[in-house]
């Protein structure tokens, strides 16, 4: 026979597990560039579990019956028998929250809000580091290499999260260092520049200027 202590531990685990599912789903789909500490993952998972449990109990009380005590939580999924429908609702909420987290990571909602708030301050501080601040809106850049070559191209991707500075450029032109005129044989579809290939980057055009400059 299952003891009350064992049942309580199992019930507690069931109430906490969905939060970890949401956070795991978010970091898998959204791709976290900075590896969070275990403590942050634990805190985020516990907070997520609290949100999921609150939403589930709200749905349960609206469509089924009131929950009047903490002890009742352990019997919800087994009254009058194992309730597969409630389990489906419970984990659907966890998955939905994980998707919301993923969208936040993909579209960098928090970072954009931070950027807006900092843009109104007299202090000039980027939310991550100067490299990312310069590349955020960069559309076309000119790169000087250690060998004194000049490369102009459209920014397709750039490294983030304090990783080595690397650039992926499309529509690439190798240009004269004096006039910026492209060499006749200096057209390349795309190129990836590693940190050792980059000595200086000049932003020639930005997305902000493209939207509001005309």
CATH number at residue 148: 2.30.30.100
Residue 194 sits in the same domain as residue 152:
yes
Percent of the chain residues topping a pLDDT of 70: 84
Asked if the structure places residue 54 within a domain, the reply is yes
Lowest mean pLDDT among 54-63, 125-134, 136-145, 160-169: 125-134
42-85 per-position pLDDT tens digit: 999 999 999 999 999 999 999 988 988 777 777 888 888 888 99
Check whether 2 has a pLDDT greater than 50: no
Nearby residues of 1 by Cβ (< 8 Å), 6 or more positions away: none
Residue 103 sits in the same domain as residue 36:
yes
pLDDT value at position 91?
94
75-125 per-position pLDDT tens digit: 888 888 888 999 999 999 999 999 999 998 888 777 777 767 766 665 555
Residue 106 sits in the same domain as residue 152:
no
| Bridge partners, 141 (sequence order) | 153, 203
Banded model confidence at residue 4, pLDDT cuts 50, 70, 90: very low
pLDDT value at position 131?
81
Asked if the structure places residue 213 within a domain, the reply is no
What is the rounded CA–CA span in Å between residue 170 and residue 27? 29
Asked if the structure places residue 139 within a domain, the reply is yes
What is the rounded CA–CA span in Å between residue 4 and residue 97? 31
Reading the block at residue 139, the tokens are 């559309």
Asked if the structure places residue 73 within a domain, the reply is yes
Asked if the structure places residue 128 within a domain, the reply is no
Reading the block at residue 170, the tokens are 């499309």
Asked if the structure places residue 119 within a domain, the reply is no
pLDDT value at position 164?
87
Percent of the chain residues topping a pLDDT of 90: 41
Residue 138 sits in the same domain as residue 110:
no
Number of domains in the chain: 2
Q: Are the CB atoms for 83 and 49 separated by under 8 Å?
A: no
pLDDT value at position 210?
45
Lowest mean pLDDT among 9-18, 79-88, 118-127, 173-182: 118-127
Q: Whole domain around residue 139: which residue ranges?
A: 134-203
Check whether 201 has a pLDDT greater than 90: yes
């Amino acid at each position: 026979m299952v003891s009350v202590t064992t049942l309580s531990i199992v019930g507690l685990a069931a109430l906490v597990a969905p939060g970890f599912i949401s956070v795991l789903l978010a970091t898998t789909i959204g791709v976290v560039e900075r590896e969070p500490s275990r403590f942050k993952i634990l805190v985020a998972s516990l907070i997520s579990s609290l949100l999921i449990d609150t939403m589930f109990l709200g749905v349960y009380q609206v469509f089924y019956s009131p929950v009047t005590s903490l002890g009742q939580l352990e019997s919800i999924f087994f009254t009058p028998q194992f309730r597969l429908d409630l389990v489906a609702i419970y984990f659907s909420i966890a998955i939905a929250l994980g998707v919301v987290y993923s969208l936040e990571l993909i579209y960098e909602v928090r970072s954009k809000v931070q950027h807006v708030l900092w843009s109104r301050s007299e202090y000039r501080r980027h939310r991550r580091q100067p490299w990312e601040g310069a590349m955020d809106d960069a559309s076309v850049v000119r790169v000087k290499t250690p060998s004194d070559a000049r490369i102009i191209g459209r920014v397709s991707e750039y490294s983030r999260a304090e990783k080595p500075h690397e650039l992926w450029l499309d529509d690439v032109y190798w240009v004269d260092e004096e006039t910026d005129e492209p060499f006749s044989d200096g057209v390349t579809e795309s190129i990836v520049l590693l940190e050792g290939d980059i000595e200086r980057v000049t932003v020639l055009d930005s997305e902000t200027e493209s939207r509001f400059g005309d």
